[in-house]
Structure 1
Amino acid sequence: MPRNRLWIREETRMLGFIFSGAFTVFLEKRRSPFLVSYTLGANIISACISVIGLLLLSIEFIIYSKSSKNSLWPHKSGKLLSEYLFILTILELFVASIVSHWASQAKKRGR
């Protein structure tokens, strides 16, 4: 029986550990305002992308509801997965908005 699993070798694990440690040291040497600005920008981009995702999923729901009256099991399961994705995208928008608000408040107080 063939193995379909991907085994991570010790060298790969060590390389990941070294990379994450170097990234942590890099971030610790930076000052806090840089990280706040980066966090604010990343969360604004995340919120914009989640809005685009919500629009695309809404269009998918509209098209699906008009095109299929009697759908098969694969179509129903695909719609269910799209609904879960819609809920998680709303959650992403909510979290990104809150973190963006916190970052902007921290940036205002830091001046």
Structure 2
Amino acid sequence: MPRSPVWMREETRMLGFVLSGIHAVLLEKKRSRSLVTYTIVMNIMSACVAVIGILLLLLEFLIFYVSAEEPIWPQVSGKILSDYLFIFSLTELMVSSTVTHWAYQAKRNR
């Protein structure tokens, strides 16, 4: 069932209001500088958490491969989920490092 056009207009107005508020905050120099600083700090914290997660997953992989017994299907499915978590943790580390670098360059060039 299609949605009414009135609902779409109200949603578009709300989105415009939110985006204009964000734009006003980013244009104000004092707040923009502190926003970039907060971005750098949060991305550094995110990278630290990603490194801790990667180390814990590597420990889990080591324990999984060292165990002598034949794994049963729940262990294998858990290992597959850990593999995906490892990939996403590496992606988080790369993205947070890249954004931190960009934010640091933006702060330095202002």
Q: For this structure pair, what is the TM-score category when the shorter chain's length is used for normalisation?
A: 0.7 to 0.9
Matched to 2:61, the amino acid is F
Counterpart residue number, 1:101: 101
Structure 2 CA distance, aligned partners of 1:102 and 1:89? Answer: 20
CA distance in 2, matches of 1:75, 1:31: 49
Q: How large is the Cα RMSD of the aligned pairs?
A: 1.9
What is the total number of aligned residue pairs between the two structures?
88
User: How many angstroms does 1:31 deviate by?
Assistant: 1.7
Give the 4+ runs in structure 1 shifted more than 3 A.
none
Percent identical pairs in the alignment equals: 49
Q: Aligned ranges for residues 1-111 of structure 1 at < 5 Å?
A: 28=25, 31-110=31-110
Q: 1:109, 1:67 → 2: CA distance? A: 53
Q: Distance in 1 between the 2:69 and 2:109 partners? A: 56
Larger relative helix fraction = 2
Q: Which runs of 5+ in 1 are unaligned?
A: 1-16
- List alignment gaps of at least 5 residues for structure 2: 1-13
In structure 2, give the amino acid aligned to 1:32: S
Q: CA deviation at 1:68?
A: 4.4
In structure 2, distance between residues paired with 1:34 and 1:78? 42
User: CA separation in 2, counterparts of 1:69 and 1:61?
Assistant: 15
Q: How far off is 1:70 after superposition?
A: 1.2
1:109 & 1:68 partners in 2: Cα distance? Answer: 56
Q: Distance in 2 between matches of 1:73 and 1:92?
A: 29
Which one-letter code corresponds to 1:53 in the other structure? G
Aligned partner of 2:7 in structure 1 is none
Greater shift after overlay, 29-38 or 49-58?
29-38
